[in-house]
Amino acid sequence: MITVTLRLHGDLLPLVRGGGKHLAPDRLVRRLPAPTSAKDAVEATGIPHCEIGRIESTGRPLDMADSVGDGACLDVFPTAPQHLREPRFLCDQHLGKLARLLRIMGFDVAYGADWSPPEVARRTVNTERVLLSRGRAILMRRAIVAGLLIRANGVDDQATEVLQRFQLAASVQLFGRCGLCNGQLKTVAKHDVADRIPPLTARWLDVYYLCDSCDQLYWEGTHVSILRDRVAAIISRAG
Ligand SMILES: [Zn+2]
C-alpha cells in the first residue's frame, strides 16, 4: 500500500464522495494499492476524471496515466468551463427529462431509456459524445474521455449545469430538435400539414415544425410561453 495526499482546488471539495463536509480541501489522505496512477489516486476521492482539469505534483504537471509513488502530494484542479463548438451529448438512462429538454433547446442528445450502463459507455465512446450522468462509476471508466457529473436534481438546474460547463448559453435554439427522437425540426408550410392541426389551433397559429426523423408535428401553442420563460431563466442562470 502507498499513502497519497491530495490538495483539492476550486470547487472540487463538494464532489468528494459523501459531499466533503468536515474535510479539509488541502489534505485528503488516501491509502492506495501500489502501483497506482494519478487518475486512480484522484478517483479514490469519488471525483471522476472528467471533472479534473489538471493534476500537479510539486508544480510539475501529471498525466492521468502517470504513476504515483508513496508519499506523493498532488494538487488537483477542476475542469474549467469550455465552449463546445459542436456539442453532441449522450444522457444516461436516468436523465430522460434532461435529454428531452436539451433537444428542445436545439442540442444533439442521444438517449435510450433501456440502455444499460455498459451500453451507455459503449455508445458514448463509439459516437464520440460527451456523457452526461449522475453516476460516478460510469464517468470513471477510462474510455470516457469527456463527461459531466450532473449535480442537480431538478431538470432545469441540470440544463443550467450543461450550459455553464460547455459555455452554450448563446447556442440555444428553441425548437431545434425533436424532444422525442433527437431528429431535426424544420418549419413546414401550414397547408402541407393542415389535416393534422386541430381546427382551433389552425385559426390562430401559422408556424409549425416537423421532425425530419419521426414526423412528429410541433407548434408554438400556449404552453410554449411557459417553456420560453423556463429556457430564458436557464440561459440567464448559465450566463
Ligand atoms: Zn422526432
Q: What is the pLDDT of residues 62-118, one digit of tens each?
A: 999 999 999 999 999 999 999 999 999 999 999 999 999 999 999 999 999 999 999
80: which DSSP letter? P
Q: Residue 41 Cα, ligand 1 centroid: separation in angstroms?
A: 43
Residues in the chain: 239
Q: List, in sequence order, every residue forming a beta bridge with 4; answer none if it has no partner.
A: 30
Q: Residue 40 Cα, ligand 1 centroid: separation in angstroms?
A: 41
What mean pLDDT is reported for the chain?
94
Q: Which residue has the cell 436545439?
A: 106
Determine the pLDDT at residue 228: 92
Q: C-alpha grid cell for residue 68? A: 504515483
Q: Residue 235 Cα, ligand 1 centroid: separation in angstroms?
A: 24
- Nearest alpha-carbon partner for 9 in 67, 63, 82, 73: 73
Q: Residue 48 Cα, ligand 1 centroid: separation in angstroms?
A: 33
184: which DSSP letter? B
Q: Which helix (DSSP H) or strand (DSSP E) does residue 225 occupy?
A: helix 223-238
Helix-, strand-, coil-residue percentages of the chain, each rounded to 5: 35, 25, 45
Instruction: Please give the model's pTM, rounded to 2 decimal places.
Output: 0.92
Q: Residue 181 Cα, ligand 1 centroid: separation in angstroms?
A: 4
Q: C-alpha grid cell for residue 199? A: 381546427
Residue 231 amino acid letter: V
- Residue numbers of the chain with a pLDDT score lower than 50: none
Q: Residue 214 Cα, ligand 1 centroid: separation in angstroms?
A: 4
**Burial class of 160 by CB neighbour count within 10 A (0 to 12, 13 to 18, 19+):** buried
Q: Residue 213 Cα, ligand 1 centroid: separation in angstroms?
A: 5
